[in-house]
């Protein structure tokens, strides 16, 4: 069966450092992979999408890599700030529809001043 795995342990990081999150998947051949941010009691907010033919994508302080051979995506938050504290979810499409997604359980990031 299809599976998406993210580190279940919270990532505690000092302000200014780079946070690196991992997303591994099995039994998928995704055309693209997405990353979302979720705050407590709120719906997910889209951050980045990376396609299978892209190795790396950046948006401001965020960077995503996608290795289809390893079946892995890495998500980096550089120069982290306390406001970056949240749970970060990776997601793969279940079909050709952008919105029909299977999510990982998410990794909580806590950035301390």
Partner 1 sequence: GAVVSQHPSRVICKSGTSVKIECRSLDFQATTMFWYRQFPKQSLMLMATSNEGSKATYEQGVEKDKFLINHASLTLSTLTVTSAHPEDSSFYICSADKAGAGSTEAFFGQGTRLTVV
We find the least distance from the C-beta atom of residue 113 to partner 1, in angstroms, to be 26
Whether the CB-CB separation of 73 and 67 falls below 8 Å is answered with yes
Question: Which residue stretch of 19-27, 44-52, 56-64, 67-75 sits at the interface with partner 1 (rule: CB under 8 A)?
Answer: 44-52
Spatial separation of the C-alpha atoms in residues 46 and 16, rounded to whole Å: 23
Whether the CB-CB separation of 66 and 49 falls below 8 Å is answered with no
Cβ-based nearer residue to partner 1, 90 or 111 = 90
Contact flag: residue 89 with partner 1 (CB under 8 A)? yes
Question: Which residue stretch of 19-27, 54-62, 76-84, 92-100 sits at the interface with partner 1 (rule: CB under 8 A)?
Answer: 92-100
Cβ-based nearer residue to partner 1, 27 or 97 = 97
In Å, how far are 18, 62, 80, 100, 106 from 12, measured between CA atoms?
11, 17, 11, 31, 14
Spatial separation of the C-alpha atoms in residues 60 and 2, rounded to whole Å: 31
Contact flag: residue 104 with partner 1 (CB under 8 A)? yes
Residues of this chain, 8-37, that bind partner 1 according to CB under 8 A: 32, 34, 36
Question: Sign of torsion, CA 98 101 31 47?
Answer: positive
Residues binding partner 1 (CB under 8 A): 4, 32, 34, 36, 41-46, 49, 89, 94, 97-106
């Amino acid at each position: 069966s299809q599976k998406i795995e993210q580190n279940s342990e919270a990532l505690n990081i000092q302000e200014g450092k780079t946070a690196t999150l991992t997303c591994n998947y099995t039994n998928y051949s995704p055309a693209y992979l997405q990353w979302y941010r979720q705050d407590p009691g709120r719906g997910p907010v889209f951050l980045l999408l990376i396609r299978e033919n892209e190795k790396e994508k950046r948006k401001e302080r965020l960077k995503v890599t996608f290795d289809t051979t390893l079946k892995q995506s890495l998500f980096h938050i550089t120069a982290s700030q306390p406001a970056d504290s949240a749970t970060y979810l990776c997601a793969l499409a279940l079909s050709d529809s952008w919105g029909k997604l299977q999510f990982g359980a998410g990794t909580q990031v806590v950035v301390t001043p």
